[in-house]
Each structure stands twice: as structure tokens, then as C-alpha cells.
Structure 1
Amino acid sequence: MRLRKVLLQCFAGVCIGISALISPAYSQQVPTALLHRAEKNLTRTIVHDIFSPPVASRIYLYANTAAYEALIHGDRAYNSVYGQVKGFPNIPAIPAEGKVNHELAATYAFFQTGSRLVFSEHLLLDSVRVILAAFGEKDSTVYKNSLKFGQAVSDSIMVWSATDNYAATRRKRRYTYSREKGKWTPTPPGYIDAVEPYWSQIRPCALDSAAQFKPVTPPAFSTDTSSAFMKDVREVYTKTQKLSQEEVLIASFWDCNPFYLNTQGHLNFATKKLSPGGHWISIAGQATESARKSWKETAVAYLCTSIALFDGFISCWDEKYRSQMIRPETVINAYMDEKWRPMLQTPPFPEYTSGHSVISAAAATVLTACLGDAFALNDDTETPYGLPVRHFRSFRHASDEAAISRLYGGIHYRSAIVNGQRQGELIGQHVLQKILLKR
């Protein structure tokens, strides 16, 4: 409610203060930079609140769905998600008393939805004031209708979100670890409890079920040096002993660990980092901006990416807590080298399949459909964290690098990476087949 009040004040001030500076056609020529800025500010809030990767994907899904639905309502060139996803609400009609500025309504719907899914709503306020001021909608009726419509869309999306079983998973009992040899247990330095062990119970968007694209069974745990499992383990151990400077950079660039824990003596403190999904939302934004895509084309890319990420995490987490595969760090310390540590901190959930591999392949698949197979990009997502820009020849190139980074980082076996990539590709292809946004 506080955000809504502030937004209404901002819009009122904008309507009066800068209407003389814009042309009558301005509201139809709003730069997509405003949408990109809105996405970045939601990501900033997600990072601040330290949401887990699966929960972050849920926030992106509902915020971007609200923005898309408000933006394309009534445009015959685009399809609503209504009728394509089970349980999706029929979006309310545009107010009868006049027109709406769809970009304005979409931005309002985006912020309204996002603000109800994060903890630190206040972090959005400063950016909202600046972003909304850039619209400058001078017609007071249009501006009021835009807010009213954006609010109605957000309300509908929030009603839909309330039925995805998220609230029920918050009330589940604490996860019980298996005592079976070879099963996952928490890892150093924080020995953090299992993250989202019940995420497979969240309602998917495009998938029919969490297990629709269940990957092949991972290599069985074995301490036999000739076993497929120990060959996987040995590769991690050997590779991490001789990483090149480039491989170290790749592992660091794709770390994306919101749970990174600094330990100095008895002092422990967290470093807030981007989630894997947030990195791919950033890639979607950079790519559509460099390609100078329209608002609607940009909204399609953001929404497709969000759906792929959301369903990718559900599918991946379904397998993680089914197979409960032990992490390399635990195996190597117990059977090979008790002093060995991976380059990256091991995330607090089971190993198989690799989450980065799944969601990166899924996101790359849908972005390739939106922007092309050979779309080159310079990714500056990690520059705020002190890392240089990386160049990629295509989305698949970026996805492949994200996947192999987990081997370099010492936190995944190759089988989890390769099978995770296949899992993600199937999810991305299914999203494209199941949900048709552009007619």
C-alpha cells in the first residue's frame, strides 16, 4: 500500500510538472530503457533481500507476467497467457472511460507485483520516482486509467500467484537428511540447511508436472576407483588442481551464489550476490536493448526467460531432492584429500542436476528463439562485482560456459552438467511450444 500511495503521488506530480515538455505522441514513444531500469531495480531488491535462486525466479515470473499482460492487452498481434496456462486468470478489461498508456500501465503493474513479493519494498521507491517521471503522460484521464488498469492486472496476477502452493511450502517441516551413504549433507563453511527442499511442489507454468523432463539417473555412488561415479569425482579433483587463469575467471563470472559466506576467525558475514536467474534476466535485458527491440518484443523476451527460469528451477529441484546426490567437496574430503576445498563455495542443496546448467540451457533456448541463433553479446552483468565484461558468440555459448563453470568451480560433476543441459534444453523447447506469445 505504501508503494501504491507513493506511485500515485509521483504520477500526479509528473502529470502536472513536465507535461509542457513533451509532445502529444510521446506516450507512444516511451524508450524501452525504462523497462530495463525497472528490471534492474527489482533485481537489486532481490539481491538485497537474499532470496534463494528458486524464489527469485518466482518473483521474476509474476512481475514480468503482469508487465506483459498490461502491455499487450487488446493488441491482436500478441497472445495473452490466458488460455495457455492452466488456472491463469482472465485479465480485466481496460477502463471504459478512456484510453490507457500501455507502457505506463505495464510499468505500474510490474512494480506493484514485484513490491508484493519482496521484503524491502522501500528499495523500489527511489527508482520508481525517477522511472515514472520519465513517462510524462500529460493526459490526466489516460494517466488515471493507466494506473487503474495496471493495478487491476497486478491484482489478478497476485490472485493467480496465491494458488501456486508457495505458501503451503513455507509451512512444511524441516528437511530430514538421509543417513544413506552417498547422499547429500550440508557443506562448509556455513553448513547451511537444505534450501527449498519442497520446491517441486510449486505449480509450474508451462510444464505439466515437475517430473515432466526427469533426467537420466545419475551414476550410483561408489568408492570403487573404477566406477563411473569415482571417475566423475576424480575429474573434479584433478581439474581444480590446474585451472588456467581463464577458467578461474569463468568460474568466478558465473558464481552467482546468493549464499556466499565470508569467514574470518569467529566472524561470519554474507556477501550479497546475484542469483543465476538474475544473471539471465540481465542477459535478456542487455540483448534486447542492444538489438533495439520494441517494448512488446522486450517484454516477450523477459517473460519467456522468466518462464524458462521458473520451470527450470522446479524441474531441477525435483531431481535434486529425489536423487540427493552428494557434493564433490564431501566425497573428496572423505576419500581423497581432507584438505581440498573447491574454488567456489558449495551451495546448500544436493548436487544432481546442476541448476546453472538447467536454467542456463532453458533461458538460452528461449532467447535464441526471440533474438536469433548467432546473437553476439557483451555481458557486463558481473562488473558491479569487480569482474570484466565477457563476450559471447550466442546465447548457447553463454549457456555452455555457465554450465562448465560449475566443474571449474569444483561444485558439480560432469554428469550433472551434461544431463542438466539436456534437461534445460527440453524445458526451453517446451516453453516455446506450449506458450505462444507472438501471433
Structure 2
Amino acid sequence: MKNWIVTCLAIVGLVATSGWAQQTADTDAFERQLFHRAHDALTEVIVADIFSPPVASRIYVYAHAAAYETLVLSQGGPYRSAAGQLPGLTPPPSLTLTGVHPALAATEALLVVGRSLVFSEKRLDDLAEKLWQQVGKQGYATQTITASRTVGRQMASHILAWAAGDQYKQTRSLRRYTPQKKPGAWLPTPPGYMAAVEPYWRRIRPLTLDSAAQYKLVAPPEFATTTDSRFYRSAREVRDVGNQLSPEQRLIANYWDCNPFYLNTQGHMNFASKKLSPGGHWLAIAGQVARQSGADLLKTSTAYFLTAVALFDGFIGCWDDKYRYNVIRPETYINAHIDESWKPVLQTPPFPEYPSGHSVISTASAVVLTHLFGPNRAFTDSTEVPYGLPPRRFTSFHQAAAEAAVSRLYGGIHYREAIENGQKQGQQVGNQVVRKLQLVALPAKK
């Protein structure tokens, strides 16, 4: 009889333990999904508000800094705070963590920071409210949700105070950029002939770089119009490649277009198509790989945050060189000196050509994601499916980055030198992020 009772109790205990484990697994899965959906909600608003790629990177980096710092403060483990590692970022003031659920607090921190940096606050509020309604249906105690959101808002305030010192506000009041009137200098391009984007971005405080010019590139080929010059040959290559694209090359060009403001022109009517920014695409990749690899919430947050830092510093270094060298776009040069009727596959972005921003930030992102997930992490990228393009399969982050880089040649908007040197700068930026921002503590050597 005694043995029978012991056996029954053991079975009951096993069932209870199994049920608890399943409940815990379900909760973890829900919280990871909640976090991804919060990021996606922020991206939706960034796209709707048509932020330029550099400005979008700023929104992302501070939002994910808030989320990451909240999780580290609550959970810790092998992960370390970025406070003291990034300029001006200090530990947050004492926060009451009693009854706080880390995932809920981090989600609130991300959304509150994001709301403070976008234009369409109401739109993000509405998306956030839907997320919190789902949280309420998961059985979390009301006091837990309240305490968690309070801590999230407190962390958001701390991060926003840090963000306020990065010179962004000051650059908003600088005078409008006037294109230089000299041979070889950048000029606005059709169809919109839009003003130069973020000509003063070099003044923004970098996070891991010593300065915007830390990885200053070698000068591009000297401007010339003679047919035997290097500059002319580079431009002719862009024209020739664009005229002979295979269906796969054309698909690659469009897949990595990531133009936040594509201007459609039909007769006298103009209207914009809003799309994901290049940085948004790479953060989407970070999120997809976190899902596909089964990463826990802290590793997921680390992937978003490190990628966002690489994007942010990558744009600062890239934009410094863009306006230093101020190189004419292929479309302008080819129309003036080679073929006046030629048009690129992609719409030329409104800023100088050298180096290729895609090459810089894609390579930098690949470096940090490889650091986190390994060199042979294959993945499927479905980022462009909402824009009518099929998923693409990559064997590694660096393969994806290389394809993103060469897509700018296929698209007709960059010379080869801008692509290859941009990749070099991106490698340097990515290495700097990994070296300077050590979020995951390495095991002690024996």
C-alpha cells in the first residue's frame, strides 16, 4: 500500500512538473513573440513617418538600448550592461524590481522610447495597446503588469535623457545644404530632385567609434570625363551592367532597394511608396534569425541592440565620407557624358555617392550578427515579402551582406569603388562594435 501511494505521488509530481514546464515554455514563447511584435510595431511607424536611413537608425538604437538595459537589470546572467561602455550612458537610478516581469518591462521601455522619437505617436500608441491587450489575456496579474510597465517607463526616461546629448536636436536647426557647383560634385537627381539628406550627420555622437572619421576611407577615383580615365570607366561599367542585367540580378537590385521614399510619377501626379529602410531590413534579419535559432529573450534583445549600434555608427562614418568627398551619382554623370537617355533600375537616393551606405551598414551588421550566431548561420529572409518579393535563402550573414552591396551596382546607383571600399569601412565598424561593446561576458580562462 505504501509503495502504491509513493508511486501515485511520483506520477502526480511528474505530471505537475511536466505541466509547469510546458506553461513556462509557452510563457517564454509568448514573451519573445511580444518583444518581436513590439519591434515590428515601431518599424511600421518608422516606415509610415518616412524617416531617412540615418534617422531611423537613431530611433532603433535608443529603443533597443532601453529594452536591453531593462532585461540586463532584471536578469543579468552572462550579459552585461552597456552603461560605462558607451559614451555618456550611466547606470539607471535605483529602480524597484519587486513584482516586475523583465519581458514586460523591456517591451514597455522599447515602445516608450520609440514613441518619443517618432512623429506618429498615436499610431504607435494604438499598436502598443493591442499588444498590451494580448498580455492581459495571458493571465499576468494586474499588479505585475503595472509594476513592469512602470519600470519600463523609468528606464525609457533614463535612455531618452542620454539620447538628448547626441547633438541630434542641434543638427535640426542648421542651415539647408546647398549643392556645390563644381565638376564632379553631387547634384540632386530625378525624378524628385530632392534636397540632400542629413548633410550634418557626422556631428551626431557615435557610440563605439572614436569619431565619425575614425575609419575615413581613401579618396575615390579623381573626377574626369576623358574616356581613358578611371572615373569614366567606372561609370561606363555601371551603364553596361545596368543594360545587361539577368532576371536574378534585377531581382537582387529590387530586393535590397530599401528606399524609404520611392517617388512615383504618372503624368503630373506624384505619390510616394513607403518602404523599409536598409537598417530596418537588417534588424528584421536579426529578428528572423533569433526566431529561427530559438534564441532566448536576452539573446534576442542583444541581437537587435548590437545590430542597431552597428547601423548607427555605420551611418555616422559613411555619411562623414559622403559629404567629405561629395561624389556625383552615376545617373548624373552617365547622362551628361556617356548616354543621355540612360536610367538606373533603382531610383537614385538624395545624397552623395561615395561610399555605398548599403555596403557599409550591411557589412557592419553581418560582422556583429556573425559574432552572436556564428559564421555558418544559414537563414531565410522574408523581409521583402510584404513588398511583393519572394524570400531569399542565405548561407551566412556575410553572403547576404555581399549581395546587398553588389545590388547597388545592379541598381545603377553606385560605382564599384564605393561598394568595395564601403565594405571595408563596414568591416572596420563592425569589428569596432564587437571590440568596444562587450555585452556577453566571456568565461574566465583556466
CA contact (8 A) 1:27 1:137 kept: no
Amino acid at match of 1:344: L
DSSP 3-state at the match of 1:263: strand
Deviation per residue, 1:177-221 (Å, 9 max, x gap): 111100001001100000000000000111110001111111110
DSSP 3-state at the match of 1:240: helix
TM-score for both structures, normalised by structure 2: 0.91
CA contact (8 A) 2:47 2:275 kept: yes
Task: Give identity over the alignment, percent.
Answer: 53
Quick one: distance in 2 between partners of 1:153 and 1:268? 42
Aligned position for 1:115: 115
Distance of aligned partners of 1:24 and 1:337 in 2 relative to their CA distance in 1, 3 Å threshold? closer
Give structure 2 stretches of 5+ with no counterpart. Answer: 1-21, 442-446
Amino acid at match of 2:361: I
Cα deviation for residue 340 of structure 1 reads 0.5
Quick one: distance in 2 between partners of 1:398 and 1:383? 16
Deviation per residue, 1:161-190 (Å, 9 max, x gap): 111000010000010211110000100110
CA contact (8 A) 2:115 2:125 kept: no
Aligned position for 2:424: 422
Cα deviation for residue 23 of structure 1 reads 6.3
Which one of the candidate residues 391, 394, 414 is aligned to 1:392? 394
DSSP 3-state at the match of 1:378: strand
Quick one: distance in 2 between partners of 1:271 and 1:141? 43
After TM superposition, the structure 1 stretch with the greater mean CA deviation from structure 2, 406-415 or 34-43, is: 34-43
After TM superposition, the structure 1 stretch with the greater mean CA deviation from structure 2, 85-94 or 149-158, is: 85-94
Cα deviation for residue 100 of structure 1 reads 1.0
Counterpart mapping for 1:332-343 below 5 A: 332-343=334-345
After TM superposition, the structure 1 stretch with the greater mean CA deviation from structure 2, 136-145 or 202-211, is: 136-145
After TM superposition, the structure 1 stretch with the greater mean CA deviation from structure 2, 67-76 or 330-339, is: 67-76
Cα deviation for residue 122 of structure 1 reads 1.8
Tell me how many residue pairs correspond in the alignment: 417
CA contact (8 A) 1:213 1:426 kept: yes
Quick one: distance in 2 between partners of 1:30 and 1:438? 24
CA contact (8 A) 1:357 1:402 kept: yes
Aligned position for 2:146: 144
Which one of the candidate residues 260, 276, 282 is aligned to 1:274? 276
DSSP 3-state at the match of 1:128: helix
Quick one: distance in 2 between partners of 1:430 and 1:225? 40
Distance of aligned partners of 1:42 and 1:334 in 2 relative to their CA distance in 1, 3 Å threshold? same
Distance of aligned partners of 1:338 and 1:28 in 2 relative to their CA distance in 1, 3 Å threshold? closer
Amino acid at match of 1:85: L
Distance of aligned partners of 1:145 and 1:360 in 2 relative to their CA distance in 1, 3 Å threshold? same
Aligned position for 2:202: 200
Deviation per residue, 1:334-370 (Å, 9 max, x gap): 0111111101000000000000000000001100111
Q: Which has more radius of gyration?
A: 2
Aligned position for 2:65: 65
Give structure 1 stretches of 5+ with no counterpart. Answer: 1-21
Counterpart mapping for 1:376-415 below 5 A: 376-415=378-417
Amino acid at match of 1:107: T
Give the CA RMSD over aligned residues: 1.5
Aligned position for 2:84: 83
Amino acid at match of 1:62: Y
Cα deviation for residue 24 of structure 1 reads 8.8
CA contact (8 A) 1:328 1:413 kept: yes
DSSP 3-state at the match of 2:274: coil
Counterpart mapping for 1:11-22 below 5 A: none
Distance of aligned partners of 1:25 and 1:235 in 2 relative to their CA distance in 1, 3 Å threshold? closer
Cα deviation for residue 282 of structure 1 reads 0.5
